[in-house]
Amino acid sequence: MTISQKLFANSYDLLNTLVEWRISSYRRSTAGQANGHVLEIGFGTGSNLKYYPDSVNITALEPNPFMFKKIRDRTLKSKKDVTIFQGYGENMPFENEVFDTVVVTLVLCMVDDVESVISEITRVLKPGGRFYFYEHVSSSSYIGSKFQDLLNPFWKFITTGCNLNRDTERIINNAGFSKVDTSKFTIRFGTPISLPNLVGVAIKKS
């Protein structure tokens, strides 16, 4: 896993440049809306950093230690308040109800157990706290979902763990939030293959 983590960290920013022009507006509608003490799960190299308001205090949770130098370099340039933790969303090293906002962007496709991550998010959010998310998700059409299922083993291998066919919307809706607002749309990258996406916010019960 160490070799794949290092390769992924080295190629992360290059891969992001291929899609960033299509997803920057969704970073603004998630990270850009954060307030207070913020937790971002799967911080990567800090692609969301420039979108956060200057007033927030950011805790970055990232499992890949090879990302950390890039995070520190980008943090210094941004002059934002960021504390880095190594860890996984399924078992976070934080007390209950300590964050005003939790943010994930294109991360829940990569985790081992989405339900556990969402459960941990509700645990660490303060009452009334907001969970902002932007993810690609499973297709709502029968043909599309079957194609995703067929392609998923190959896709997961070449992307070191990304899943095409996760029903993230259902999982979030069933997690017990007091309110969930979502918007679904499709992104095409000049090919016949489309990628269903989900962006939204879930509010924890007060």
Tell me the two tokens of residue 90: 């399924």
Number of other CB atoms surrounding residue 91 within 10 Å: 10
Provide CATH code, domain 2-203: 3.40.50.150
How far is it, in rounded angstroms, from Cα 5 to Cα 160?
A: 8
**Any idea where the domains of the chain sit in the sequence?**
2-203
At residue 82, the pLDDT reads 93
Q: pLDDT 10s digit of each residue in the chain, 206 long?
A: 576 666 665 555 556 555 665 678 899 999 999 999 999 999 988 889 999 999 999 999 998 888 888 888 888 888 888 999 999 999 999 999 999 999 999 899 889 999 999 999 999 999 999 999 999 877 777 777 777 778 777 777 766 677 777 889 999 999 999 999 999 888 765 555 667 889 999 999 99
**């029903």: which residue's tokens?**
167
Check: CB of residue 12 under 8 Å from CB of residue 4.
no
Q: CA-CA distances (angstroms) from residue 11 to 112, 151, 157, 159, 160?
A: 21, 22, 15, 11, 12
